[in-house]
Amino acid sequence: MKSRIASTIAGALALSGVMACADPATATASTTPNGWDEWLNGKYATGNWGGLRDRLEADGVQFFGYYTSIPAGVVSGGMRRGATYVDDWYFGVNLDLEKLVGWSGGKFTVSGINRDGLSLTNNYIGSRFDAQQCYGGQNVFLYGVFLEQKIADGKVTFKLGRFSASDDFNCSPLYGYSLNNALNGDIRAVLFDTQFSAYPYSTWATSIKVKPTDETYAQLGVFQGGDRLFNPRLNGVNWDITSSDSAFVIGQVGWTPEFNKQAVPGTGTGEGKPAEMKGLPGHYWVGASYSSYEYPKFNSATEKGTNSYGVYAHADQMVYQEGPGSDQGLTVFTAGCLYPQKEISIMPWQATLGFNYKGLIPGRDDDHTMLHASYGRYSSVYAESVAATGGGWPQYEAILETGHRIALTKFAYIQPDVQLVMNPAGAHRIQNAVVLGAQIGVTF
């Protein structure tokens, strides 16, 4: 395992050095193989398949594949020093039904997942938040199988089939720059406290999203709940609906403004064409969920609590832009949730603050530099139940993380990363852990 981790990091770092320093625009035919520039500047590691990929997409068939891996190790604190490696394959196909069969506004998606590796957190840290976001459900899954239908000029979108709540609710692309799952994907306390379905686990579900204006939206989803839905051994192919299943209902409203709009240089030069106006983009939302599942109470061996409910919120705003219309600059965000039922909520509230700068280093316009901090407070009733078993009294757990994502090409990146896991498991019994690692991603 250690040799595999070492070779992976070494190979990725070597590739990053070559890609970061090379300038494909200045390469000549005499010094590069034929087709090298086309591949290097393309969107996919597997290339365009001799033009077949473009032809298939023009006909409505879009294949996709993503690989993510995280080698990481504890260099100080935690339960003990050590390193592990985890990875995630996500692959599938989108079928544009309008192009294929003339079904206006329709899309059908099928996708799968394969996860491998051992948890650094379980073996070396002991925290509730996991230091490697692609650990969890290490197995092969059938994931998304759903129909998406747009109507009213795209202002209304329906989804029906098998997917997870995390695909559309309580999620932001900014979260994906965190290696720690305190934030990556979703605000983690929501998953601790209720039956919020998240990648790699899908359920039977339906949702609707309405966009009354370009800057506002509202969405509502209903998802299947139950005991067996988060069992990785079922591989996502148990599609049963039983009388013992519960329901998880979630709603979210959002606002996506642009502030301080200015004319984008180079636009509006033609006769009768106004200049394109762009500003500082922001994304704001609040959501609430309800679950009818019966949750075991921490302070009772027999009683169960029903009707779990809670709220969450998110705000991100670009506060500095390198030029009108540029996506380079600094974005600040915050997120939090509250699930107040202490008898069934492990972590009733969590808060996160983050900073993400695109293009901070001159000449590295597509790189991202990030700093994230998360804090989660344990339930006093949960803490009492842990203390009764001799595990101490959990109070809080916090994460401080920084990293820099190096865009090697349009289809590959490496992100060296440092995490400080504070008060693992919350009871002041495990030393703060320093975690060094890297996330490597490839689009195929």
Q: Domains in the chain, start-ordered, CATH in brackets?
A: 2-443 (2.40.160.180)
pLDDT at 270: 66
Looking at the DSSP assignment, which residues form a beta bridge with residue 98? none
φ and ψ at residue 432, rounded to 5 degrees: -55, 140
In degrees, to the nearest 5, what angle opens at C-alpha 189 toward C-alphas 170 and 381? 150
- What tokens appear for 173 in the block? 């692309």
d(CA 169, CA 217): 12
d(CA 272, CA 234): 60
- What tokens appear for 94 in the block? 């989108």
pLDDT at 35: 77
pLDDT at 273: 81
For the chain, 444 residues long, give each residue's pLDDT as a single digit of tens: 444 444 444 444 343 443 433 443 443 444 445 678 889 899 999 999 999 999 999 999 999 999 999 999 999 999 999 999 999 999 999 999 999 999 999 999 999 999 999 999 999 999 999 999 999 999 999 999 999 999 999 999 999 999 999 999 999 999 999 999 999 988 899 999 999 999 999 999 999 999 999 999 999 999 999 888 888 899 999 999 998 899 999 999 999 999 999 988 878 776 678 888 899 999 999 999 999 999 999 988 888 888 899 999 999 999 999 999 999 999 999 999 999 999 999 999 999 999 999 999 999 999 999 999 999 999 999 999 999 999 999 999 999 999 999 999 999 999 999 999 999 999 999 999 999 999 999 999
Q: Is 336 left (phi over 0), alpha (psi -120 to 50) or beta?
A: beta
Asked if residue 90 lies in contact with residue 442, where contact means CB atoms within 8 angstroms, the answer is no
d(CA 222, CA 388): 37
- What tokens appear for 66 in the block? 């993503």
Residues whose CB is less than 8 angstroms from the CB of residue 71 and which lie 6 or more positions away in sequence, other chains included: 5, 8, 9, 83, 84, 85, 437, 438
* Model pTM score: 0.88
pLDDT at 297: 94
Asked if residue 282 lies in contact with residue 258, where contact means CB atoms within 8 angstroms, the answer is yes
19-48 burial, b at 16+ Cβ within 10 Å, e below that, comes to: beeeeeeeeeeeeeeeeeeebbebebeebe
pLDDT at 337: 97
Asked if residue 402 lies in contact with residue 353, where contact means CB atoms within 8 angstroms, the answer is no
pLDDT at 268: 77
| Exposed / middle / buried, residue 209 (Cβ in 10 Å: 0-12, 13-18, 19+) | buried
